[in-house]
Amino acid sequence: MKAFWDERYAAADYVYGEQPNVWFAEKLAPLEAGRMLLPCEGEGRNAVFAARLGWEVVAFDQSEEGRHKAMALAARHQQQISYELADALIFTNPQPFDAVALVFAHMPEPLRAAFHQRMADLLKPGGTLILEGFHTTQLGRSSGGPRELSMLFTPEMLKADFPDFTVQQLEVATVQLNEGPFHQGEAVVVRLLARKNAD
């Protein structure tokens, strides 16, 4: 998959746009800034937005091309972000985070639950999880997302993957995506806002 993402991100344009994901931006705005983790961050649009709000941002992805464009975007906006090249299933960090945002971070079905558990473990008790991903009914639409049903989400799946969280919002929504050339048009997404329970 690294080769796939390197090829996609090698394009001159930002293939998912330079503006943050709408759900992410909306749910991040009222939070007090702290340490944020952005897995599978691609070209950096959400990381740079969070940094502009005062967050200390740690991002990672497996794509060198994605990291290069993210750092260029951060420099253009005069923001500091930390961006590591890492596999999602082995990424670790010595300090827990105040927020973790998973924006269209889809994994093959055998890996999904383990990935979600690893990301949950990196979040402080009381920390915030912001997630948006494509719903199973997105399959076959041209507006974006994996082409495999097993990689898509349902609310029930996400509740099962994050059992130690208090759900604040969980919804299936039909939205109009306008996020670069690969996320365009009507799409069906699952949106989750949750807080990690105290120990």
Q: Does 40 score more than 80 pLDDT? A: yes
Q: Which phi-psi region, left, alpha or beta, contains residue 140 (left: φ > 0; alpha: ψ -120 to 50)?
A: left
Q: What is the mean pLDDT of residues 126-150?
A: 97
pLDDT-derived band at 69 (thresholds 50, 70, 90) equals very high
Percent of the chain with pLDDT over 90: 97
pLDDT of residue 71: 98
pLDDT of residue 57: 98
pTM (predicted TM-score): 0.97
Q: Which domain holds residue 186?
A: 2-196
Please write the tens of the pLDDT for every residue from 87-127: 999 999 999 999 999 999 999 999 999 999 999 999 999 99
pLDDT of residue 1: 79
pLDDT-derived band at 78 (thresholds 50, 70, 90) equals very high
Arithmetic mean of pLDDT over the chain: 97
Helix axes 64-76, 2-9, angle to 10 degrees: 40
The CATH number of whichever domain residue 47 belongs to comes to: 3.40.50.150
Domains: count for the chain: 1
Please write the tens of the pLDDT for every residue from 163-194: 999 999 999 999 999 999 999 999 999 999 99
Q: What is the mean pLDDT of residues 124-141?
A: 98
Please write the tens of the pLDDT for every residue from 10-20: 999 999 999 99
